[in-house]
Structures are given as C-alpha cells and as structure tokens.
Amino acid sequence: MKKKTSLSSALALFVAFTAAQSVAQVGKNDGVVNPNLAGKDELLRLEHLDETLVESILERRPSIGMLDLHGLLKPSLSEEALEQLYRQLFIPIDLNTASREEILLVPGLGPRMAHEFEEYRPYRAMAQFRREIGKYVDDDEVARLEQYVFVPIDLNTASEDDILSIPGVGQRMLHEFLEYRPYRSIAQFRREIGKYVDDDELNRLARYVTLRTE
C-alpha cells in the first residue's frame, strides 16, 4: 500500500512539474492586430493602410509571413510609416528560426537587441524569453516585445492554455489538437488537423507547433 501511495505521489509531482513548465507560448497581445486574422474593416482602421493595401493583404492570407507582409508594404510606405504601422499590425515571429532581417522588423528593435534575441536560442518557453531579455530592458518593454514573438508549442505536452495562445485557435480546434495525442510526427499533425482546415490555414497553424524528442 505504501508503495502505491509513493508511486501516486511521485506521479502527481511529475504532473505538477510538467504543468508548471507549460505556459502560453505566444506572447500576450495588448492590441497588436494579426493580419492573418483581422477583418477588412479592422485593417482599414489602421493608420497607413488604404483599400488597395488591405485587399492585397486579404488576398495573400491566411499563411502570409512577416517578411511577405513587409515585402508587400515596403514599396508603398516609408520606413517611418512602416515602423508606426508595425506597432499596430504584426505577425508573430518564431524566436528560434526568425532571420535577423525578420527580427529587425519588430518595432523599436535595433541590432544590439536583435543579437540578444538570437543569443539565447533555442528558446523552450516564453518564460525563458522574458527572463533573458529582462536582463536588458524593464518589464514594460519585455511585455511590449513579447507581443511580436512566439515559441512553438510541443504538440504532446502543451497545456490547453498553450494551445489556445495560438492566434485563431478556439475551443473547437483545441479539442482537435488534443484528440490525436500522442503525435508521432508533424506529418501526422498535418494529416489529422487537415481534416478540419484548408491547406493555407494548416500551414499557418503549423508554424506554431513542434515535436520535441527530449
């Protein structure tokens, strides 16, 4: 009986520890609009976006990336206008794979801080990002910066809150993410979730997930 109790206690501690490590992997958003999800009227309300640019954004989504967006807007807007717009409109970038060019699109970020972003790769959680970048800027600036970044969630260990932090994922899709655990490969994820969304949306969702072997 004691062995069973001990085993149960150990299991409970393991579950608690795992849950403690699992926190939302997409930074908390304080009003930055995601162009892959926003409606036309919402986009038109943003400074520097006109009907033509909004229509171009809508035509390319939902799998448009930040570099694609920048390439679309750059011919029409000045650097100052782009800087202002990206404070309102941005597609979160992967902290582990984003290029230097992509990182420098984060508004208010210069080469020195871009270096710090890269210095601590690979990131395992947003908590790590907050801790490391918090060595260089205050809490308010960390909170601002995290709106523009994400760390891919592990499909097999992510909490419900982790999954729901993916832009555009609600309760229905949360259920489907959980339904097919354990995932053996990203190909399996694409096959199963592809039953519910089209290829473009599947590509968008796939940016936010990974399978860790450790």
User: How far, in whole angstroms, is CA 132 from its chain's centroid?
Assistant: 18
Do residues 93 and 168 both lie within one domain?
no
- Residue 28 falls within a domain, yes or no? no
Question: In the prediction, which pLDDT does 189 show?
Answer: 98
Q: Are 101 and 78 in contact (CB under 8 A)?
A: no
Residue 162, in any domain of the structure: yes
- Residue pLDDT, tens place only, 34-66: 999 999 999 999 999 999 999 999 999 987 899
End residue of a domain, out of 99, 117, 150 = 150
Nearest to 184 by CA among 156, 153, 162: 156
Range of the domain at 186: 152-214
Among candidate residues 100, 134, 150, the one where a domain is terminated? 150
Residue 21: inside a domain, yes or no? no
Residue 124 sits in the same domain as residue 196: no
Contact, 130 vs 95, CB < 8 A? no
d(CA 166, CA 149): 11
Arithmetic mean of pLDDT over the chain: 89
Residue listed under structure tokens 């229905």: 172
Residues 96 and 55 in one domain: yes
Q: Are residues 133 and 171 in the same domain?
A: no
Are both 130 and 158 inside the same structural domain? no
Average pLDDT over residues 173-193: 98
Mark whether 59 and 70 lie in a shared domain: yes
CA 7 → CA 3, 17, 56, distances in Å? 6, 15, 58
Task: Give residue 6's pLDDT.
Answer: 46
Residues 9-19 have a mean pLDDT of 39
My answer on whether 146 and 44 are in the same domain is yes
- Whether residue 126 sits in one domain with residue 69: yes
Give the pLDDT score at 25.
Answer: 84
Number of domains within the chain:
2
According to the model, what pLDDT value does residue 29 have? 80
Q: Are residues 185 and 203 in the same domain?
A: yes
Question: Residues 104, 185: one domain?
Answer: no
Residues 128 and 68 in one domain: yes
- What's the confidence (pLDDT) of residue 24? 61
Biggest alpha carbon distance in the chain?
73
In a domain, 30, yes or no: no
Mean pLDDT of 139-159: 96
137 and 189 inside one domain: no
pTM of the model: 0.85
Asked whether residue 67 is domain-assigned, the answer is yes
pLDDT-based confidence at residue 23 (cuts at 50, 70, 90): low
Strands (E), 4-133: 93-94
Q: Residue 43 has which token pair?
A: 């986009």
The model's pLDDT over 152-178, given as tens digits with 9 standing for 90+, comes to 999 999 999 999 999 999 999 999 999
